[in-house]
Amino acid sequence: MADLEYTVTDGIGTILLNRPQAKNAFTLEMIDQWADALRSAKTDPSVRVVVLTGAGDAFCAGIDLSVLEAVGDEPIALKSMLSDGVHQVAHAVAELDKPMIAAVNGAAVGAGMDMALMCDIRLMKQSARMSEGYIKVGLVPGDGGCYYLPRLVGMAKALEMLWTGDFVDSAEALRIGLVSHVYSDDDFEKSYGDFVARLAKQPPINVRMIKRATYQSARSDLRTALDLISSHLAVVHGTNDSREARSAFQERRQPSFVGS
């Protein structure tokens, strides 16, 4: 069995971290495969949604500490390991204009939590927990935690989590907006699968344009954002999927979208 598996089924590309014996801590080889999977999903028209999850009882324990030990204490080597290695995933996620969903099935710690934060939506198992635990091992967040976390939960709460390294359970994660839904342990896979399948059935051009416009609008002024979305709407209105959506709505039937 590979340490990372990427499969595509029914429009859903699933990245499975598959080192349950190591709580799915990732190696640099896994990072290369991870980034390759995301780049493949970006250009593959059969993929409409990407899901990231873990095997066994953990989501991801972060980077395998043996990787850090192998790099040693030389600052440039360590920086290069992050910039040229681990950060590949963050850059590939940022380039992906399709929904990216983290199905947090167990503990997500350190860089493992950061990998969930960079996704568009997080769905969490009731028994799962998250921690920005870097400070407990004498490190600082090396995979985007200082960037993503304040944007999700606010500066004060983010700093509390980063400074203490405390675990956040699923109820607290939902309360502070860290995750969108919490599902019971017994039907977690079915529940998140139903949610993801619903997204995969939406018109893919619209979904991608909405994602791009939403993220771009967060960095734009109102006039720029409105100008952008008016162009998007004009383009989308002429697509086959847009006509299918209007026809299905009028005929009170389920639409079928083909991505054109």
The full set of domain ranges for the chain reads 4-200, 204-251
Planar angle of CA 99, 101, 105, nearest 5 degrees? 170
pLDDT the model gives residue 232: 92
Which stretches of the chain are assigned E, i.e. beta strand? Answer: 4-9, 12-17, 49-54, 58-60, 100-104, 107-109, 121-125, 129-131, 168-169, 181-183
Question: Quick check: 69 pLDDT over 90?
Answer: no
Whether the CB-CB separation of 167 and 110 falls below 8 Å is answered with no
In sequence order, which residues have a C-beta less than 8 Å from that of residue 237 and are 6 or more positions away?
none
How, if at all, do strands 100-104 and 49-54 pair? parallel
pLDDT > 90? residue 129? yes
Ranges 68-72, 104-108, 136-140: which has the least confidence: 68-72
CB 145 within 8 A of CB 162: yes
Query: For residue 106, which of 175, 31, 56 has the smallest C-alpha distance?
Result: 56
As given in the structure block, the two tokens for residue 96 are 């992906």
At 187, is the pLDDT very low, low, confident or very high (cuts 50, 70, 90)?
very high
Helix, strand, coil % over all residues of the chain, rounded to 5: 55, 15, 30
Q: What is the CATH number of domain 4-200?
A: 3.90.226.10
What is the average pLDDT across 245-253?
90
To 5 degrees, how large is the angle CA 242–CA 123–CA 259? 20
CA separation for the pair 133, 145 (Å, rounded): 10
Query: How many alpha carbons fall within 13 Å on the CB side of residue 100?
Result: 23
> What's the pLDDT at 224?
95
